[in-house]
Chain A
Amino acid sequence: QKEVEQNSGPLSVPEGAIASLNCTYSDRVSQSFFWYRQYSGKSPELIMSIYSNGDKEDGRFTAQLNKASQYVSLLIRDSQPSDSATYLCAARNDYKLSFGAGTTVTVRA
């Protein structure tokens, strides 16, 4: 079983819609969780971090964490074409990050 699993993509949403990304992790001792955005040929860019159960909002992005269910999600509201990218979920344990395979999102204009 992979440490971090993401819902398979690709995910295509119309401009202005909500994109919903899901991630589960297997290691219960994981301490914090991150969502990275990666454009093709570029390195990952951190967009959200979350450490506590519940929701965390930052602009058009909302991350949700449920440690009991070992589940992390990311909502992108009012999706824009510039949001088209691969989104990587990562779990941190003892300063190491384990990444999911990524979900590719395409926002249709």
Chain B
Amino acid sequence: GAVVSQHPSWVICKSGTSVKIECRSLDFQATTMFWYRQFPKQSLMLMATSNEGSKATYEQGVEKDKFLINHASLTLSTLTVTSAHPEDSSFYICSARPVLGKGKYNEQFFGPGTRLTVL
């Protein structure tokens, strides 16, 4: 149980285009999903917290107008990188926290990640 999928697994796009990444919890409902970014040889950096039915909360330094997050259902959150530029090339990883947030289920379950390359 506790499987999270991401689509696409990798994407290459031209500078100036927008890219949408989907994050789905397959066998549980998640009121909260998290979006991380990881540059090579660096750790995961939280970009934003996505709550179902409400606006996402962005971490300091993350442009909310550039990284659009939608959490329309308890199993789906999307991250859209608008007007992507080469410096946005990174590994984007989502995680989901199950609705029942007690005990074992305090953990976040990670998706497999999406490798974005902007040319």
> Which A residues lie at the B interface, using CB under 8 A?
32, 34, 36, 41-46, 49, 88, 92, 95-102
Contacts and interface: CB of A to CB of B under 8 A. Distances in A.
Nearest to B6: A43
A109 to B, nearest CB: 24
A34 B107 contact: yes
Contact of A42 (B101, B107, B112): B112
Main secondary structure of the interface of B (DSSP, over half): strand
A24 to B, nearest CB: 15
Contact of A43 (B49, B107, B112): B112
Nearest to B115: A41
Given A34-B107, A43-B93, A92-B106, A99 B112 contact: no
B43 A100 contact: yes
Which of A45, A46, A49, A100 lies at the interface centre, i.e. has the most chain B CB atoms within 10 A of its CB? A46
Contacts of B107: 34, 46, 49
A22 B57 CA distance: 31
A99 B45 CA distance: 7
Which size bracket describes the interface of B in this complex?
A: 20 to 34
B113 A43 contact: yes
Interface string B37-63: 000001111100100000000000000
A32 B113 contact: no
Main secondary structure of the interface of A (DSSP, over half): strand
B43 A95 contact: no
Nearest to B10: A41
Contact of B108 (A42, A97, A100, A101): A97
Given A32-B106, A95-B32, A95-B101, A43 B111 contact: yes
B46 A101 contact: no
Nearest to A2: B43
Given A43-B93, A95-B32, A97-B34, A88 B111 contact: no
A18 to B, nearest CB: 24
B24 interface: no
B97 A95 contact: yes
Contacts of A43: 93, 110-113
